[in-house]
Structure 1
Amino acid sequence: MAMVRELPVDERPRERLLALGPGFLSNAELLAIVLRNGSKERSALQLAQDILSLYKDDGVSALGRMTAGELMCLQGIGSAKAAEVMAAVELGKRLNAHIARQRAMVTCPEDAADYAMPRFRYEDREHFAVILLNVKNHILSMPVISVGSLTASVVHPREVFKAAIQQAAASIILVHNHPSGDPTPSKEDIEVTARMVQVGRVMDIPVLDHIILGNDNYISLKEKGVIK
């Protein structure tokens, strides 16, 4: 592949973006613009393709899970380029989170999943959070209650309902991610849900749902009949 500067002007990613808009560029072209230039051996486009091929699944989704160390293992990617990529990815995450906050009312499980997904879908450890709702189902906040290992988080009703009481929540939705990308509930997920529902009834702060997040998908334990 030719170096970017050797391409015709109308084929260079930066010029194509300015002329056509970002929607017309491939993922590799957009990432090449972030990288700005390549190495002696590889063009910015080649480096971008190397980064996107680090994972077997969709490269854009994989970007959110990459670490600086993984990026710097690629030939031509040093600390500066790794930092540029990670900064761009973090800006994307924050933009997604901001957009989600604009739809800050929960009317169905999809609303809750859409709200939480930008925050947790790329985490490499389980995060257990709780969406706190007022009487009109507007979201008050989504505090993280527990951060666990690659496969499990430890959570106690005390921490969950302490957050709800502090913010005078009328009801709550439990949320946690599965770093594997598969949102299928485990036996422990179902047991934790049942325990939280029981405590919620005693506290008069109902648990409306438990959303388990995967990689761009989710499962609602309310819809699965776990929460009656």
Structure 2
Amino acid sequence: MIAVLLGKGDRNRSIEDLSREILRITRGLGGLLSIDIARNLRVQGLGSAKASVLMASVELARRLKYKSLQGAAFDATALARYMRTLFLPMRRECFVLATVSPAGNLLRVEIVSKGSLEEVGVHPRDLVRMVLNDEATEVIIAHNHPGMTSEPSPEDWEVYTRLGSILSELDVCLLDHWIFGIDGIFSCKHSTRLDED
């Protein structure tokens, strides 16, 4: 598929060899979805034009994946995989909100705040407003620790506890707070790392 998208190679390398090298570096199509192509994919024969085609294709795949999740029955495993593709290329901390309808369908997955390399600020009032606008009954919040472990900080626990308490008063269940790091996904609800299979 990559060979078809990129068209042709150059005088030093066939398009098939270039495609195989891209897949080797990214460890397959899944890895291609989670790499910042512009910054991290340096391959001889992959110039700016071909990199742009690849980036556009990856973004299209992400959007199609989101569309397949949105409105469908809530599936925590599929949501975690999708969020992984959102977070992996991020160099700064980002905070994501996922809302679930009373019927159990995923309503929204949205980056609601972007922060610095080591922290992201989010105000519970803003999250509550979005949850109420969606008429959601269940929520998952998530953020990333770029280049670090998924171990929660005291502030991460505070956000989880405080938001859970606020949402509970509104009859909304905070299902979990996931933290994505280089070592996997940490579940605040279960106080452990999640199995990503």
Q: How many residues align?
A: 191
Which residue in the other structure is 2:195 paired with?
none
Give the drift of 1:184.
Answer: 3.3
For 1:212-227, list aligned pairs within 5 A. 212-214=179-181, 217-224=184-191
| CA deviation string 1:78-123 (max 9, x = no partner) | 22211121122222222322333363325xx435424544444443
Which residue in the other structure is 2:153 paired with?
186
Q: Does the alignment pair 1:135 with 2:102?
A: yes
Aligned residues of 1:112 and 1:211 also touching (Cα < 8 A): no
CA RMSD of aligned residues (A): 3.0
User: Where do 5+ consecutive residues of structure 2 fail to align?
Assistant: 193-197
Please point out which of 140, 147, 150 is paired with 2:114. Answer: 147
Aligned residues of 2:69 and 2:106 also touching (Cα < 8 A): no
Give the drift of 1:137.
Answer: 3.0
Matches of 1:119 and 1:70, distance apart in 2: 16
Aligned residues of 2:99 and 2:138 also touching (Cα < 8 A): yes
For 1:172-183, list aligned pairs within 5 A. 172-180=139-147, 182-183=149-150
Which residue in the other structure is 1:66 paired with?
36
Matches of 1:152 and 1:104, distance apart in 2: 32
Which residue in the other structure is 1:195 paired with?
162
Aligned residues of 2:72 and 2:106 also touching (Cα < 8 A): no
Aligned-pair identity (%): 34
Name the structure where strand makes up a greater proportion of residues: 2
* TM-score using structure 1 length: 0.68
Aligned residues of 2:71 and 2:107 also touching (Cα < 8 A): no
| CA deviation string 1:5-54 (max 9, x = no partner) | xxxxxxxxxxxxxxxxxxxxxxxxx4333222111222223333443455
Which residue in the other structure is 1:104 paired with?
73
Which residue in the other structure is 2:47 paired with?
78
Matches of 2:17 and 2:138, distance apart in 1: 50
Please point out which of 28, 33, 42 is paired with 2:13. Answer: 42
Which residue in the other structure is 2:128 paired with?
161
Aligned residues of 1:113 and 1:213 also touching (Cα < 8 A): no
Aligned residues of 2:150 and 2:183 also touching (Cα < 8 A): no
Q: Does the alignment pair 1:90 with 2:59?
A: yes
Structure 1 residues 67 and 115, CA gap change in structure 2 (3 angstroms):
closer
Give the drift of 1:148.
Answer: 1.7
The structure with the largest alpha-carbon Rg is 1
